[in-house]
Structure 1
Amino acid sequence: MTRPPTAAQRRIIDAAEPVTGRLTGTEIQLAALVKRGLAFRHPRPPHDHFLTPAGHRLRETAEVAEKVPETAVPAAAPAETGVFAARVGGEEAAEAGPARVREVHSAWQGLLELRRMTNPGGAMDRPCGWERTHLVRAAALALEAAGHRPAGADADAAGAGGGYRVRATPQPEAVAVREPDAEALRACAATLEKAGWQVGEHTDPRTRQRYLLASPRRA
């Protein structure tokens, strides 16, 4: 890409579906994004257009520039943006009503469709490329979609108040999942394994608390 996208193209990119990256626009507009390497046309009917990894990165540029790294804070978008973000644990004023349940279900179904469209052979039983570049959000979505409860903002680092927390780790393809309740922690492990993640249980040498290390399964 030699030039930045036009304002109209940027609006189309910004309006893409949060998880799948599906685009809406005229054929001319979408073709221009394909030419720039920011979108691709799916070969199967209805031949929808989706963001490429470069398109996803461009859409997230402004978002990321306004936030500190996700290793320091929960990877959740501010509520006023209207953009869906899976709850990683520790968010303020987390709405948990029927509307949120529907929103999470829709996001999870969209992610499964993205797996079908982008994984070799249409495999839906293992994470796709988007998940590998958004590890914390992807793991949190799998947990929230399965009904697990994220920790609230009032839960301290020791886990008072209960609920899961998903955080980045120094390992390039692993997240840490903490949950003070041992049974709930094992349930989180089962959910992630079912969602296509490799999961191991470990003990924090400093706090002696058990936690999970989870990585996207490749095959």
Structure 2
Amino acid sequence: MAEFEVATGAAGAPSGDDRERRAAVRTAFEGLLQIRRLMNTDAADPEGVPAEWERRRPIRAVALALEAADVPPSAVDADGHRVATGYCLGPAERAGVVRVEWLGPPGSGAGYAAQEALRNCAAVLRRLGWEALEYRGPRRRHHLEVEPPPPGPPRR
């Protein structure tokens, strides 16, 4: 059995049957929530706080959270041309921070939809305890910077 690979939107589209993919995402996300329950025993809402595993692999954790919420990932073909509209994740300038962009093929209108789509991504991630801030960069392109909240005393 192959290892489950998250869809970051920076590579090709996930292969295989859509139903099988949804089932694999659901299983992986349930595993992530179980990790949270086991690792965040001091938190008032253990499922609402990113676990240490997620802090060490933020791109993987954010991708899984978005795909589990049925937010579509972008994708590129073998030549590197964008072929699907959706989120695209990569590292931000600061370590441990994920940059979330909304990208699509030329003429897809992804740029026009980006602000609303990214706000949806931010809402999904905030419900799971991530901090998501919206920025506007060069050419007024919107993106998010997502990171876990700073560690602190347990919340009760």
Q: Please state which band the TM-score falls in when normalised by the shorter chain.
A: 0.7 to 0.9
Matches within 5 A, 1:46-61: none
Tell whether 2:55 aligns with 1:152. no
Residue pair 2:75, 2:83 contacting (<8 A) in 1 also:
no
| Cα distance in structure 2, aligned partners of 1:119 and 1:93 | 33
Matches within 5 A, 1:126-205: 126-154=49-77, 161-179=84-102, 180=110, 181=113, 182-204=115-137
Over 6 Å off, 4+ runs: none
| Cα distance in structure 2, aligned partners of 1:161 and 1:93 | 8
More RCO (CA 8 Å, sep 6+): 2
Unmatched runs of 5 consecutive residues or more in structure 2: 103-109
Equivalences, count? 137
The correspondence for 1:116, drawn from 37, 40, 57, is: 37
**CA displacement 1:166-211 (0-9 Å, x = unmatched):** 111221221100014222111111111111100100011x232000
Tell me the equivalent position of 2:3: 83
Report the structure number with the largest CA radius of gyration.
1
Unmatched runs of 5 consecutive residues or more in structure 1: 1-80
Q: Closer, same or farther in 2 for the Cα pair 1:165/1:200, shift >3 Å?
A: same
Residue pair 2:59, 2:98 contacting (<8 A) in 1 also:
yes
Residue pair 2:62, 2:125 contacting (<8 A) in 1 also:
yes
- TM-score scaled by structure 2? 0.79
Tell me the equivalent position of 2:145: 213
- TM-score scaled by structure 1? 0.57
**CA displacement 1:81-118 (0-9 Å, x = unmatched):** 71012110032242360000000000000000001111
Q: Closer, same or farther in 2 for the Cα pair 1:117/1:149, shift >3 Å?
A: same
| Cα distance in structure 2, aligned partners of 1:86 and 1:92 | 11
